[in-house]
Amino acid sequence: MDWQKTLHSWHERISQELDSVVDFWLRHSHDEEYGGFFTCLDQTGKVYDDLKYVWLQGRQVWMYSRLYRKVPRFQRPELLQAAKAGGEFLLRHARVAPPSQKCAFVLTRDGRPVKIQRTIFSECFYVLGLDELGRATGESHYQREALAMMEAIVRWVREDPSELGRPQLAGALPHDSMAVPMMLLNLVDQVSEGDAEVASRFKELDSWSAQRILSHVQRNGAAVLENVSEDGKELPGCLGRQQNPGHAIEAGWFLLRCALRQHNSDLQSQAVDKFMKQPFQSGWDPEHGGLFAFQDVDGLCPTQLEWKMKLWWPHTEAMVAFLMGFAETQDKELLELFHQVANYTFAKFRDPVAGEWFGYLTQEGKMALTIKGGPFKGCFHVPRALYMCEEILKSLVERKFAIQK
Amino acid sequence: MDWQKTLHSWHERISQELDSVVDFWLRHSHDEEYGGFFTCLDQTGKVYDDLKYVWLQGRQVWMYSRLYRKVPRFQRPELLQAAKAGGEFLLRHARVAPPSQKCAFVLTRDGRPVKIQRTIFSECFYVLGLDELGRATGESHYQREALAMMEAIVRWVREDPSELGRPQLAGALPHDSMAVPMMLLNLVDQVSEGDAEVASRFKELDSWSAQRILSHVQRNGAAVLENVSEDGKELPGCLGRQQNPGHAIEAGWFLLRCALRQHNSDLQSQAVDKFMKQPFQSGWDPEHGGLFAFQDVDGLCPTQLEWKMKLWWPHTEAMVAFLMGFAETQDKELLELFHQVANYTFAKFRDPVAGEWFGYLTQEGKMALTIKGGPFKGCFHVPRALYMCEEILKSLVERKFAIQK
């Protein structure tokens, strides 16, 4: 295979696809009346529910702001206006009872709280969206609000979770869910960009989060487990055996960016070997292709009903991870993996008719849900992956890598 | 078809299957050390997690006690002993912080609370199990405890839900989830049996629950919706459009038993027409057979990832509903539906090798999860349906019904 040609052709396909995906959200998701975004969109983009999930509001604010700030062809007023309207909606409505920093999980269209999760994730995407909005608009008050929320999140995770409202129960094993340090690592990456003062403030958190993620490598290095004890030991039962290959691979590129920030080559090879190659080997369905949603490290049957299903986001994250991994290491195996995953993903999830991607396939790759957006799928993983891959491919193509044939 | 012969043959198959299913739980699920039951059992009955889900503990106590009390061949000391050990486990551990009546959702093997749900269902299965255990053992203190818990549940549902711990949120539509009046109707049925005083105490609740369930018939009688407003109106969005055919059909036989208690022939025909025949017509997969797990009344795509999957319990409940409906109405259509559902169910869910049934199939009827028990599947729907069908078939066969050919 002529890899230079292949990279060229992926660059072109991915750029075109990013245009089409962004166009889908621009056409269908804006709430002109209240600000913020409709994310419950059917195959054609029609709104089937007007609830506003705070994760997805924050993520779309981030995505629009990032595209506006970084990609010249998206420096369009309509993106920035919609991002601002989304940011203002979050500022007005996400926090349920200020001065508490706790945010709702889902709001009505006009911003009244419907449900609160006793976790940190609504707040994390609030930070992600507002920090990037501050950068795109140059209005620093958005970043100040993001940083204040970030302090609250760090306090909840590392000092005192009581404001989250989870009861302390005698039988609940204190444990580290990999999602938590992953989110923190992602946020440090976000808020530190180009700001030495903030980067230095969160330097220790950066390392702490990376170390926490590394503690999920278990079984003498042979597996990434989703949940481990606070001191990095394997936990009993389903909780302890749970694996999520897409999540491990996403952690891979989070760690790889951290390794770049920290000039840490050992972390770089752990990111690639333990969080990219290995979860792919064990998580890829040898029969039908695609990454399983969940696995049990002992090969037992997971209890998640969807464990065999193929979800969009593990595949978008694998595209990012393998391409980024290749760009940093020039390891051709990673480029081949990118090609394999990207081919599967474009063939199965893409909707060339109405735009955006389907999210949920059966094990066999048949469409299970026709929705383009819902309570957990919004304007985020697909355009983020396309934007990041476009950027990496551009640089690869320009560098005209001499790849060993 | 010779229906008399068919009923005979189903009676035989179902009796044998009940023996085999009960045997599975007797062999694999007892915790001899702490009392209570392991329910996370793999295909062969091996324990893959030792957490104890309170719903499933209460249900298994009920099932064993009921079989002991009502079916002569199950009047075996090992069933009663295990039921008692399960009941004692619940008494010792289910309530998280007495004197509060609130129960945990899941406990460690030795009874420490792991998680609390902000709903009434753990408590409902606590009532169900302990009331039946009191009947089977003749030890009335179990029933007293059950009735005290029942009073708390009724108070939470009809007067003051604050002890459940759900925050009151401005955007959360107060609504009636059909599961709540269904559970209450089921509990009234349980605690009233053969006790005129208790029956009279809960007579108003019986009617109230039935009326609440009937308020879920919407669209001019054309559909049962899972969630409606407190005053019986359709709700907006996915919440309002949600349907669960198996749940509607289960409500059908709950209502039918209520109609018998109340000698209410109008309620009987609503139970049969609106809650059995109609949900079956719209919920049965014309392509692959089996009942869908979820549907959207407007035919939109549900957001539940498993909506097309075939779960065991809608099928066991449909077997009970159609057979009970036939026994009460002599409507031959119901007998045909029983035969159709029972054939599908025995062909797809049954495991003739290791006993008990599989719980989770793909839309096409392929096994998706190999587990026999898990966080939501225990010793309940399969043996309850087999026990009830056996009882009804026995009576039908003995009556030697003259069915129009």
Band (A404; pLDDT cuts 50, 70, 90): very low
Distance in angstroms (rounded) separating the CA atoms of residues B270 and B278: 10
Give the dihedral of Cα atoms A232, B39, B377, B350; nearest 10 deg: 120
Please indicate if any CB of chain B lies within 8 Å of the CB of A397: no
DSSP count for chain A of H helices, then E strands = 15, 14
Residue B200, pLDDT above cutoff 90 = yes
Band (B404; pLDDT cuts 50, 70, 90): very low
| Cβ contact A132:A69 at 8 Å | yes
Band (B61; pLDDT cuts 50, 70, 90): very high
Say yes or no for a CB contact (<8 Å) between A51 and B107. no
**Shortest Cα–Cα distance, B235 to chain A (Å):** 11
> What are A60's two structure tokens?
């779309």
Average pLDDT over residues B63-90: 98
Please tell me the number of Cα atoms within 13 Å of B376 on its side-chain side: 10
Of B107, B169, B368, the CB nearest to A114: B169
Residues in chain B within 8 Å Cβ distance of A302 = 369
Query: Distance between alpha carbon B204 and the CA centroid of its chain, in Å?
Result: 22
Average pLDDT over residues B58-69: 98
| Cβ contact B343:B335 at 8 Å | no
Residue in B47, B48, B173, B364 to test binding to A, most A beta-carbons within 10 Å:
B48
Nearby residues of A296 by Cβ (< 8 Å), 6 or more positions away = A238, A241, A242, A243, A302
Q: Residue A393 CB: number of other CB atoms within 10 A? A: 22
Q: Which of residues 266-295 of B touch A (CB under 8 A)?
A: none
Residue A312, pLDDT above cutoff 80 = yes
Please indicate if any CB of chain A lies within 8 Å of the CB of B39: no
Could you give the percent of chain B with pLDDT greater than 90? 96
Say yes or no for a CB contact (<8 Å) between A303 and B370. no
Say yes or no for a CB contact (<8 Å) between B113 and A306. no
Average pLDDT over residues A213-222: 98
Strand positions, DSSP E, A270-325: 295-296, 310-311
Per-residue pLDDT tens for A56-114?
A: 999 999 999 999 999 999 999 999 999 999 999 999 999 999 999 999 999 999 999 99
Q: State how far the alpha carbon of B101 is from the alpha carbons of B77, B123, B168, B318, in Å.
A: 31, 8, 20, 33
So what's the pLDDT on residue B1?
77
Q: Residue A333 CB: number of other CB atoms within 10 A? A: 14
Residues in chain B within 8 Å Cβ distance of A370 = 301
Say yes or no for a CB contact (<8 Å) between A115 and B169. yes
Distance in angstroms (rounded) separating the CA atoms of residues A228 and A250: 18
For CA atoms B267, B273, B277, B282, give the dihedral sign: negative
Could you give the percent of chain A with pLDDT greater than 90? 96
Say yes or no for a CB contact (<8 Å) between B303 and A238. no
**Shortest Cα–Cα distance, B271 to chain A (Å):** 31
Distance in angstroms (rounded) separating the CA atoms of residues A46 and A29: 9
Distance in angstroms (rounded) separating the CA atoms of residues B100 and B123: 12
Proportion of chain B in helix, strand, coil states, percent, rounded to 5: 55, 10, 35
Rounded to the nearest 10 degrees, the angle between the axes of helix B77-93 and helix B121-137 is: 140
Of A141, A250, A244, A126, nearest to A190 (Cα)?
A126
Q: State how far the alpha carbon of A11 is from the alpha carbons of A4, A108, A403, B136, B392, in Å.
A: 11, 39, 17, 72, 67
Distance in angstroms (rounded) separating the CA atoms of residues A397 and A5: 9
| Cβ contact B342:B10 at 8 Å | yes
Per-residue pLDDT tens for A161-216?
A: 999 999 899 999 999 999 999 999 999 999 999 999 999 999 999 999 999 999 99
Q: State how far the alpha carbon of B168 is from the alpha carbons of A50, A112, A163, B162, B173, in Å.
A: 21, 12, 17, 9, 10
Distance in angstroms (rounded) separating the CA atoms of residues B341 and B345: 6
Band (A402; pLDDT cuts 50, 70, 90): low
Could you tell me how many CB contacts below 8 A there are between chain A and chain B? 108
Say yes or no for a CB contact (<8 Å) between A369 and B303. yes
DSSP string, A38-72: --EE-TTS-EEE--EEHHHHHHHHHHHHHHHHH-G
| Cβ contact A395:A330 at 8 Å | no
Residue bearing tokens 């804006």: A30
Complex ipTM more than 0.90, yes or no: yes
Residue in A169, A295, A296 to test binding to B, most B beta-carbons within 10 Å:
A169
So what's the pLDDT on residue B405?
43
Distance in angstroms (rounded) separating the CA atoms of residues A281 and A363: 17
> What are B116's two structure tokens?
């609390």
**Shortest Cα–Cα distance, B241 to chain A (Å):** 10
Give the dihedral of Cα atoms B175, B177, B181, B182; nearest 10 deg: 170
Per-residue pLDDT tens for B348-376?
A: 999 999 999 999 999 999 999 999 999 99
Q: Residue B237 CB: number of other CB atoms within 10 A? A: 17
Residue A253, pLDDT above cutoff 60 = yes
So what's the pLDDT on residue A1?
77
Band (B213; pLDDT cuts 50, 70, 90): very high
Please indicate if any CB of chain B lies within 8 Å of the CB of A368: yes
Average pLDDT over residues B231-245: 98
pTM assigned to the model: 0.96
Residues in chain B within 8 Å Cβ distance of A111 = 171
Say yes or no for a CB contact (<8 Å) between A108 and B368. no
| Cβ contact B120:B158 at 8 Å | no
